[in-house]
Amino acid sequence: MTMTALDRLARTDLAFLNWRDPAHPDAGGAEAYCWEIARRFAAAGAHVTLVSSRYPGSRAREYRDGIRVVRAGGTFGVYAAAAAHLLRNRHAYDAVLDFQNGIPFFSPLFTPRWTADLCVIHHVHQHQFDTRFRWPMNSVGRVLEKQVSRRVYRGRPVVVVSPSTREGTRRELGFGNPIHIVPNGRPGKGLTAPTGQRSATPALTVVSRLVPQKRVDLILRAVPALRRRWPELRVDLCGDGPEGESLRKLAADLGIASTVEFHGYVCDERREELFHRAWLTVVPSVAEGWGLAVIEANAVGTPALAFDVPGLRDAIRPGVNGWLLDPDADLAAGVASALDALSTPEARSLTAARCRSWAAAFSWDASAERLAQVVLEDLQRIHRHRRSRRSASDLSVLTRFTSADPESTERAVRNSLRQTDAWHREGDAFRLLLHGCDEVRALNALSRLDVSEADIALANGHVVLLGTAEPGDGPAPGQARGRRP
């Protein structure tokens, strides 16, 4: 049986740095990502410590799901606490995974050179510091995220959750690092719908933290126009946050309190039930690293509508699992159009099948394996005291070829490809997904495998996001064919 990257991380000592743990009252998608990956690393035999902030009623130390949780400091004090923890345990960790939520922990400053330090970025906050801080703190935040981070993490692997975040990391932060895409997994317990029926009348379920950048008020302001068209419309709003009271007041002022129900925080089972009951979920955020709520809804067959903004444009495939609106479009008109498209049971059933199929492409197990590959690849680089063979590039190549000696070719593939590359074999046919290279470098890689003829094409964003070389994700007809000279 082939060992996975997770298997090879067994008995390694890993530190996860995240400003909150999933039990924190304000925990969100970033905390779910950190925890789901960490517990799978722990289940594979790695020794995992999560360092996060302490909140009222929490314990400074505890063990959950095989993870040692260390809590210290508050919202901002956690950064100093994490630095002190790394300095006290300077020789304890093989790798540190530094989760950047606007401001990273700058772990390379506090670890020895033989420690693998990876920066994980959910989304770029350059334009969001103004929504939370006044001058000069907003400017300080931008400098820490951009200029200081770029210098501290120079040359180290960066992990992002979507192509949008990769683009923002390149364009807004100016990072020249190798960047790996590791998407969120599929939330929930599976793809089977909860018990109960989908609503016979139009219903929206919205799951969001109630904070300014989520723009939940746009949904409330759209309800009066929607209710004139559909008097029986129902809106279920799940989530807590500092804007909760002001949003409840807005609903009362708009006269829609009988249409909108504020559920506050809900458990996973209740959230799935409400998603399943709805015709549609709406995500009006100004930007996301990834649309976690989109995939949560898709997993139970509910499509999503959002603005065409970073992150959400990666999670939603128009015509498959939802709709994307121009950022300046009228939200009420967009929702009305989507509800019209879902007006028949047949349309809702067909859409539900497409949504579930899209959600099935993501899993936390696959995401944990992909992140483990990045960690393992950097550990191998450090131990061999050499640079990676490929320079930083955001291009990926998908190639197909056949081999007269498939067993020998498979051994060569296993021994020569990087941990972060993907491959698939069916009989004598091979498919390779090579990250961080163009067609020329791909030809060089094939040359080392003694492959004389192959179909070669740049991988599209869908293939890169899924990170698989499985059949069905290949180059579209008409793409270039390449041969090794």
Output the domain CATH number for residue 67.
3.40.50.2000
Domain containing 62 equals: 5-181
- What kind and span of H or E run contains 166? helix 163-171
pLDDT digits (tens, 9 = 90+) for 332-342: 999 999 999 99
Let me know whether 472 and 352 are in one domain.
no
Let me know whether 176 and 211 are in one domain.
no
Let me know whether 163 and 18 are in one domain.
yes
- The answer to whether 306 and 294 have CB atoms below 8 angstroms apart is yes
pLDDT digits (tens, 9 = 90+) for 164-207: 999 999 999 999 999 999 999 986 554 455 556 899 999 999 99
Tell me whether strands 95-100 and 67-71 are parallel, antiparallel or unpaired.
unpaired
In a domain, 384, yes or no: no
Let me know whether 159 and 270 are in one domain.
no
Question: Which of residues 312, 334, 359 is at a domain's end?
Answer: 359
In a domain, 188, yes or no: no
Let me know whether 322 and 227 are in one domain.
yes
Q: For 75-92, what is the mean pLDDT?
A: 94
Asked if the bond preceding 231 is cis, omega within 30° of 0, the reply is no
Q: State the pLDDT at residue 283.
A: 96
**pLDDT band with cut points at 50, 70 and 90 for residue 289:** confident
DSSP secondary structure letters along 308-377: S-TTHHHH--BTTTEEEE-TTS-HHHHHHHHHHHT-SHHHHHHHHHHHHHHHTT--HHHHHHHHHHHHHH
Let me know whether 258 and 345 are in one domain.
yes
Residue with tokens 């879902």: 342
Let me know whether 42 and 98 are in one domain.
yes
Residue with tokens 């302001």: 221
136, burial (CB in 10 Å: exposed 0-12, middle 13-18, buried 19+): exposed
Let me know whether 37 and 124 are in one domain.
yes
Q: In the predicted model, is pLDDT for residue 246 greater than 50?
A: yes
In a domain, 385, yes or no: no
Query: Which tops the pLDDT comparison, 388 or 482?
Result: 388
Q: State the pLDDT at residue 294.
A: 95
**pLDDT band with cut points at 50, 70 and 90 for residue 99:** very high
Let me know whether 107 and 57 are in one domain.
yes
Q: In the predicted model, is pLDDT for residue 477 greater than 50?
A: no
Number of domains in the chain: 3
In a domain, 186, yes or no: no
Question: Which of residues 146, 181, 216 is at a domain's end?
Answer: 181
DSSP secondary structure letters along 37-50: HHHHHHHTT-EEEE
In a domain, 233, yes or no: yes
Q: State the pLDDT at residue 391.
A: 55
Give CA–CA dist 410/428, Å, rounded.
10
In a domain, 30, yes or no: yes
Let me know whether 241 and 174 are in one domain.
no
In a domain, 197, yes or no: no
DSSP state of 280: B
pTM value is: 0.85
Question: Which of residues 306, 334, 359 is at a domain's end?
Answer: 359
For residue 61, give the amino acid letter: R
In a domain, 313, yes or no: yes
Q: For 236-260, what is the mean pLDDT?
A: 95
Let me know whether 80 and 144 are in one domain.
yes
Mean per-residue pLDDT of the chain:
89
CA dihedral (134, 140, 142, 144) positive or negative: negative
Let me know whether 49 and 161 are in one domain.
yes
Q: State the pLDDT at residue 473.
A: 45
Q: In the predicted model, is pLDDT for residue 469 greater than 70?
A: yes
Give CA–CA dist 382/385, Å, rounded.
5
* Rounded (to 5) percent helix, strand, coil in the chain: 40, 20, 45
Q: For 466-479, what is the mean pLDDT?
A: 58
Q: State the pLDDT at residue 195.
A: 57
Residue 300 falls in which region: left (phi positive, over 0), alpha (psi -120 to 50) or beta: alpha
Highest-confidence segment of 19-23, 253-257, 289-293? 253-257
Give CA–CA dist 419/2, Å, rounded.
13
Q: State the pLDDT at residue 287.
A: 84
Three-class secondary structure of residue 27 per DSSP: coil
Give CA–CA dist 51/55, Å, rounded.
13
Give CA–CA dist 471/485, Å, rounded.
26
Name the percent of the chain lying above pLDDT 70: 93
Write phi, then psi, for 204 (nearest 5 degrees): -115, 140
Radius of gyration of the chain (CA): 23
